[in-house]
């Protein structure tokens, strides 16, 4: 119970890595604010947590809107008195198109959610954590925050940007007891990946020296470690969790 009585926000917690993370943090004793634009998925995550004896509630928030990030943090403090952990996980892939042909409306949407959403989240979360005496923020980047992938123009740009945001925030707020780190999952078995054609999935598996895709619960374990006091001297870093993808 290394997160007992800590309050945690997880965005994009209605499925995939977000849901696995919310469940894992609750298992560690955290009181979890489950957030997503998908109300049905978010409420299912809350149900999974509470049926296992954990504590959680759902709050709908669109992370691409600064005022909704602020409302999310206010609600966490109102319900549980403080904010100690935030996992900025909400994100979308966007279409696959070469840079010159990439639709402008999709560029704006992917950047708004995947990059600006992380900034808006931290902008609201850091003052709350300072009020709580410190905390830990984990931002979801990707292996594509370090390397590129044909066609994913906006996604690659946003995930690189998340790493930079994480580093500057860590430099500026470490003295306040707020640790901020980024993680870089490779291709993880989530509903989005599971829906891909089998030949594409086989191609993705071949890119991982470990010989398989990752599991959401494996990513959740890394997040839970970084959220806990076991990682008390770790800030401003990027952790790949990628089955050897970046070693090639």
Per-residue pLDDT tens over the stretch 3-59: 999 999 999 999 999 999 999 999 999 999 999 999 999 999 999 999 999 999 999
pLDDT confidence band for 194 (50 / 70 / 90): confident
Percent of the chain with pLDDT over 90: 94
The confidence score (pLDDT) of residue 191 equals: 77
Task: Report the CATH fold assignment for 7-186+215-240.
Answer: Rossmann fold (3.40.50)
Q: What is the pLDDT of residue 1?
A: 77
Tell me which residue of 94, 126, 137, 134 sits closest to 113, measured CA to CA: 94
DSSP codes of every residue in 131-155:
HHT-EEEEEE--GGGTS--TTBHHH
- Domain borders along the chain are 7-186+215-240
pLDDT averaged over every residue in the chain: 96
The pLDDT assigned to 76 comes to 98
The pLDDT score that the predictor gives to residue 196 is: 78
**For residue 238, pLDDT beyond 80:** yes
Q: Over 90: is that where the pLDDT of 113 sits?
A: yes
Phi, psi of 28, deg, nearest 5: -80, 0
pLDDT class of 193 with cuts at 50, 70, 90: confident
Taking a C-beta distance cutoff of 8 angstroms, is the pair 215, 159 a contact? Answer: no
**pTM for this prediction:** 0.96
Q: Phi first, then psi: what are they for 101, rounded to 5°?
A: -95, 0
**Closest Cα to residue 95, out of 29, 146, 151?**
151
* Paired tokens of 196: 């891909």
Percentage of the chain with pLDDT > 70? 100
Q: Which residues belong to the active site? A: 155
Average of per-residue pLDDT across 103-112: 98
The answer to whether residue 190 scores a pLDDT higher than 90 is no
67, 59 Cβ separation under 8 angstroms: no
Q: What is the structure's pLDDT at 195? A: 76
DSSP tag of 247 = G
Contact call for residues 129 and 135 (beta carbons, < 8 A): yes
Q: Phi/psi zone of residue 115: left (φ > 0), alpha (ψ -120 to 50 degrees), beta?
A: alpha
pLDDT at 218: 98
Given pLDDT bands bounded at 50, 70 and 90, which one contains residue 125? very high
197 has pLDDT over 90: no
């Amino acid at each position: 119970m290394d997160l007992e009585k800590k309050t945690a926000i997880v965005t994009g917690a209605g499925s995939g890595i977000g849901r696995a993370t919310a469940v894992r943090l609750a298992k560690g004793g955290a009181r979890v604010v489950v957030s997503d634009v998908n109300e049905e998925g978010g409420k299912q995550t809350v149900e999974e947590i509470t049926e296992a004896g954990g504590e959680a509630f759902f709050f709908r928030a669109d992370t691409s809107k600064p005022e909704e990030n602020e409302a999310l943090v206010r609600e966490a403090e109102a319900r549980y008195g403080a904010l100690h952990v935030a996992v900025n996980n909400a994100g979308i892939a966007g279409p696959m198109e070469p840079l010159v042909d990439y639709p402008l409306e999709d560029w704006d949407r992917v950047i708004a959610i995947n990059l600006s959403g992380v900034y808006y989240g931290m902008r609201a979360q850091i003052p709350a954590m300072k009020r709580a005496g410190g905390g830990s923020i984990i931002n979801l980047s990707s292996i594509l925050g370090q390397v590129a992938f044909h066609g994913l123009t906006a996604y690659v740009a946003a995930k690189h940007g998340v790493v930079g945001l994480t580093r500057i925030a860590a430099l500026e707020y470490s003295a306040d007891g707020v640790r901020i780190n980024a993680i870089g999952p490779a291709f993880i078995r989530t509903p989005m990946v599971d829906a891909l054609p089998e030949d594409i999935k086989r191609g993705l598996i071949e890119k991982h020296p470990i010989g398989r895709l990752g599991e959401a619960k494996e990513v959740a374990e890394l997040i839970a470690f970084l959220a806990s006091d076991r990682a008390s001297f770790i800030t401003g870093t990027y952790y790949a969790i990628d089955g050897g993808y970046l070693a090639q």
